[in-house]
């Protein structure tokens, strides 16, 4: 009997559960480029190009490996337009007795497959360190789901950066050593370049023609679209950038958007690399004495800690997680998030970089664009849609808890024990943005003051009833209360004026 094996665009792993369960002699593999998946949000052009190019490359590899493959291109006349419809078409075409697929990384698709009249069996996605069931056991009975405790358990379970029962280097977390601002450096190793061969060029032209109005540019496309290229990107990072990754991972420079970051998340999220091999490569570099513990631990924490934890939270909390709005924020996303046309140098840098590269690192996302949206009271659903659309590595299982939970506090404190907010002082300390800004980061109120300053205090005053008793924020409120009454009034008045301009659609 023939079974239909469905491979989705973010499941491009030759050892994925569905392919492992398949019989090459009798089963048929299907892949499909469908407009419903390409358009449910306005994906960045480079994100579309990456997924389509990686899918086509993976399909070529499957065929060379002897699989019976049915591949549907976006332009094919018989393309049914959605994954459920394409699965139904291929099932009818092959007479499949059963359909196998790795469970998708979004509730939206899982629900669609569950509701299909066809017999679609969704296999657990075992490409992660921690299964959904394992995370559920960890979370059971806990009042708080703190990532640090989950991360330590994963370290013990995997043995990564462990010396017997103790953490390597004598501590679990080296964050305090990893908050250095960076300086411009002409000799910093640039990211590797990937050749735009005929396959990639064809996809770039297709995306330009089919999605001309989507956010972003295609001219700077430089992402690994095959496993071999992703392996080269990993090796390059470990050899050249990992050593300095830790101390400067939170730094931001206007003319150096990558710094020491790996840019491996997209390859990880579509399956070209596995989290285990990435962490083991870092572990090996540490064992060899090539990188310091603060860099090895800082990087492994992002993969073994945050990435696994975010996925666990997303599936633990259920399909309604993305709709939560604990702070009842309702302001529309400012128009300049789509254009970068703002006088705030940090926002302009983060947004235009995102437009041009489909990339910004975690602090640019959290403490610049996310921070502003939270302080301004933007509807978290709109913020989530923006992040899902504009970043090349954005898939809902990882994007939603990072945005709704960590960035916007929309989940009410499941991910973070307090909101991640700051005034302009943090951005000034960690970047070179403020030196070239139209606003004065040292001014706390008034027309020329950094918008982050007045919005920060206005946010705290607006949500005082919720956060005043939070142990991690009590000192901040005491500081606010000690300030001169006129100074407090001036800051609040500046914030009100700024928000009125924002609502009127003025340039900020």
Q: Which of 459, 278, 488 is nearest to 370 (CA)?
A: 459
State residue 186's pLDDT score.
78
CA–chain centroid gap for 257, Å, is 16
Task: Identify the structural domains of the chain with CATH numbers, from first to last.
Answer: 3-123 (3.40.50.620), 132-192+223-315 (1.25.40.80), 335-504 (1.10.579.10)
State residue 436's pLDDT score.
86
Integer Rg of the chain from CA: 24
Can you tell me which residue has the tokens 């006088």?
343
Residues lower than pLDDT 50 in the chain: none
Q: Which of 32, 1, 29, 34 is nearest to 14 (CA)?
A: 29
Over the stretch 394-409, which tens digit does the pLDDT of each residue have? 999 999 999 999 999 9
* Buried residues in 273-287 as b, exposed as e (16+ CB within 10 A): bbbeebbebbbebbe
Distance CA 425, CA 403 (A): 22
State residue 27's pLDDT score.
98
State residue 54's pLDDT score.
98
Residues 61, 63, 67: CA angle, nearest 5 degrees:
120
Q: Which of 279, 269, 195, 184 is nearest to 237 (CA)?
A: 279
Strand pairing class (162-163; 166-167): antiparallel
Q: Which two tokens stand for residue 35?
A: 């407009």
Q: Which of 38, 32, 4 is nearest to 18 (CA)?
A: 4
Strand pairing class (28-32; 3-6): parallel
Local structure of 433: helix, strand or coil: coil
State residue 187's pLDDT score.
87
Q: What is the pTM of this model?
A: 0.96
Q: Which of 388, 384, 399, 390 is nearest to 354 (CA)?
A: 390
State residue 145's pLDDT score.
93
Distance CA 233, CA 153 (A): 29
């Amino acid at each position: 009997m023939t079974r239909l094996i469905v491979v989705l665009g973010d499941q491009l792993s030759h050892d994925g559960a569905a392919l492992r369960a398949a019989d090459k002699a009798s089963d048929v593999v299907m892949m499909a480029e469908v407009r419903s998946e390409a358009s449910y949000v306005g994906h960045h052009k480079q994100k579309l190009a990456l997924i389509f190019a990686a899918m086509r490359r993976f399909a070529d590899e499957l065929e060379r490996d002897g699989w019976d493959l049915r591949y549907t291109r976006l332009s094919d006349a018989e393309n049914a337009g959605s994954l459920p419809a394409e699965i139904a078409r291929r099932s009818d075409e092959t007479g499949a007795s059963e359909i196998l697929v790795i469970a998708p990384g979004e509730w939206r698709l899982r629900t669609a497959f569950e509701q299909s009249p066809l017999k679609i069996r969704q296999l657990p996605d075992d490409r992660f360190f921690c299964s959904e069931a394992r995370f559920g056991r960890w979370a059971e009975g806990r009042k708080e789901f703190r990532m640090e405790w989950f991360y330590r358990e994963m370290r013990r379970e995997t043995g990564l950066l462990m010396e017997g029962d103790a953490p390597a280097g004598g501590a679990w977390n080296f964050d305090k050593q990893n908050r250095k601002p960076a300086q411009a450096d002409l000799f910093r190793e640039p990211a590797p370049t990937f050749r735009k061969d005929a396959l990639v060029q064809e996809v770039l032209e297709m995306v330009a023609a089919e999605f001309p109005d989507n956010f972003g540019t295609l001219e700077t496309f430089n992402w690994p679209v095959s496993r071999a290229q992703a392996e080269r990107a990993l090796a390059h990072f470990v050899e050249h950038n990992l050593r300095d990754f830790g101390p400067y991972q939170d730094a931001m420079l206007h003319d150096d958007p990558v710094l020491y970051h790996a840019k491996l998340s997209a390859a990880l999220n579509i399956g070209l690399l596995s989290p285990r091999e990435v962490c083991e490569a870092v572990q090996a570099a540490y064992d060899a004495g090539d990188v310091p513990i603060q860099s090895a631990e800082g990087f492994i924490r992002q993969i073994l800690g945050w990435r696994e934890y975010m996925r666990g939270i997303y599936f633990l909390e259920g399909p309604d997680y993305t709709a939560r709005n604990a702070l009842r924020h309702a302001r529309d996303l400012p128009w300049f998030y789509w254009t970068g046309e703002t006088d705030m140098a940090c926002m302009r840098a983060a947004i235009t970089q995102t437009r041009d590269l489909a990339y910004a690192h975690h602090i640019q996302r959290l403490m610049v664009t996310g921070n502003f949206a939270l302080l301004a009271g933007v509807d978290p659903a709109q913020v989530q849609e923006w992040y899902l659309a504009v970043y090349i590595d954005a898939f809902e299982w990882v994007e939603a808890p990072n945005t709704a939970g960590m960035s916007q506090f929309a989940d009410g404190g499941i991910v973070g024990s307090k909101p991640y907010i700051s005034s302009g002082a943090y951005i000034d300390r960690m970047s070179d943005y403020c030196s070239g800004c139209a606003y004065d980061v040292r001014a706390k109120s008034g027309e020329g003051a950094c918008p982050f300053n007045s919005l920060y205090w206005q946010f705290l005053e607006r949500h005082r009833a919720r956060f005043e008793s939070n142990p991690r924020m009590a000192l901040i409120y005491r500081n606010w209360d000690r300030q001169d009454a006129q100074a407090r009034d001036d800051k609040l008045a500046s914030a009100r004026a700024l928000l009125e301009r924002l609502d009127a659609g003025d340039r900020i």
